Amino acid sequence: MKNVLSVIFAFSLLVTVVGCSSTSKQNSSGDWSSLFVVWNGDMYTFDNQTLDSVDEQIGEIEEFSDNEATIFSSKIFSNKYIVGTKIFKIKEVDPEESIAVEYNGKYYKGNNAGKYGS
């Protein structure tokens, strides 16, 4: 009986340790721990990197929510920037790589983190 309890305890401990650990650090493109804009199906993450100038406007935020449960109906949305925030192409940079937004009189650079929701 003592051996059976030891086996059950060891198995339970193993399941707990394996189930609670993560060997994969995925940076999901639906990761709400980042400040992001979704444009053309791609998620662009933003930090505090600013730019002095930008190229032409390529869009503007159509929906905003800071609630992860939100289901967006538009293709251009953000969890940081409000509706109407302008999105720009960066000079000499492919928009598939990076874009910029104008916020409080400054241009902030966002880098493509992959397809949103994949």
Write out pLDDT tens, residues 14-69: 445 444 443 333 333 456 788 999 999 999 999 999 999 999 999 999 999 999 88
Number of domains the chain contains: 1
Tell me, what's the pLDDT at 18? 44
Q: Is residue 98 part of a domain?
A: yes
Q: Is residue 18 part of a domain?
A: no
40 Cβ partners below 8 Å, 6+ apart? 75, 95
User: Considering Cα of 16, then 19, then 22, then 28, what sign does the dihedral take?
Assistant: negative
Tell me, what's the pLDDT at 33? 84
Select the more confidently predicted residue: 21 or 116: 116
Q: Is residue 69 part of a domain?
A: yes
Q: Is residue 25 part of a domain?
A: no
Select the more confidently predicted residue: 57 or 13: 57
Q: Is residue 96 part of a domain?
A: yes
Domain range for 62 is 31-115
Among 56, 110, 105, 58, which Cα is nearest to 80's? 110
Q: Is residue 45 part of a domain?
A: yes
The whole-number average pLDDT for the span 97-108 is 97
